[in-house]
Amino acid sequence: MAKVETKELKYKEKQSIGKIILTIIFVIVSVFYVSPIIIVLMNSFKWNGDIAQNLFAFPNGDSFAGLRNYTYGMTFGNYPFWKSAFYSFFITVGGVALILLCTSMAAWYIQRSNTIFCKIVYFFCIFSMVVPFQMVMFTLSDTANKLKLTTPWGILPVYLGFGAGLAIFMFSGFVKSIPIEIEEAADVDGAGPLKTFFSVVLPIMKPTFISIAILETMWIWNDYLLPYLVLDGKLYKTIPIHMQFLNGSYGQTDNGAIMALVVLSIVPIVIFYFACQKYIIEGVVSGAVKG
- Model confidence at 257, in pLDDT bands (50, 70, 90)? confident
All CATH 1.10.3720.10 domain ranges in the chain, comma separated:
79-288
- Model confidence at 102, in pLDDT bands (50, 70, 90)? very high
Paired strand residues for 253: 247
Q: CA 251 to CA 210: how far, in whole Å?
A: 42
Paired strand residues for 64: 46
Q: What is the pLDDT of residue 289?
A: 45
Residue from 258, 242, 259, 243 nearest 39 by CA:
259
Phi and psi at 237, nearest 5°, equal: -135, 140
Q: CA 98 to CA 157: how far, in whole Å?
A: 8
Q: CA 43 to CA 256: how far, in whole Å?
A: 6
Which superfamily is assigned to 79-288 in CATH? MetI-like (1.10.3720.10)
Q: What is the pLDDT of residue 258?
A: 87
| Segment 71-87 mean pLDDT | 86
The CB-based long-range contact list for 138-146 (8 Å cut-off, 24+ gap) reads 140/229, 140/230, 141/229, 141/230, 144/229, 144/230
CB contact set of 172 (below 8 Å; sequence gap of 6+):
107, 110, 111, 122, 287, 291
| Segment 91-112 mean pLDDT | 93
pLDDT at 40 over 70: yes
**3-class secondary structure per residue, 76-136:** CCCCCHHHHHHHHHHHHHHHHHHHHHHHHHHHHHHHHHCCHHHHHHHHHHHHHCCCCHHHC
Percent of the chain with pLDDT over 70: 89
- Model confidence at 290, in pLDDT bands (50, 70, 90)? very low
CB contact set of 272 (below 8 Å; sequence gap of 6+):
214, 217
CB contact set of 139 (below 8 Å; sequence gap of 6+):
none
pLDDT in tens, 135-189: 888 888 888 889 988 999 999 999 998 999 989 998 998 888 888 888 888 888 8
| Segment 77-87 mean pLDDT | 87
pLDDT at 252 over 80: no
Q: CA 31 to CA 153: how far, in whole Å?
A: 40
| Segment 73-83 mean pLDDT | 84
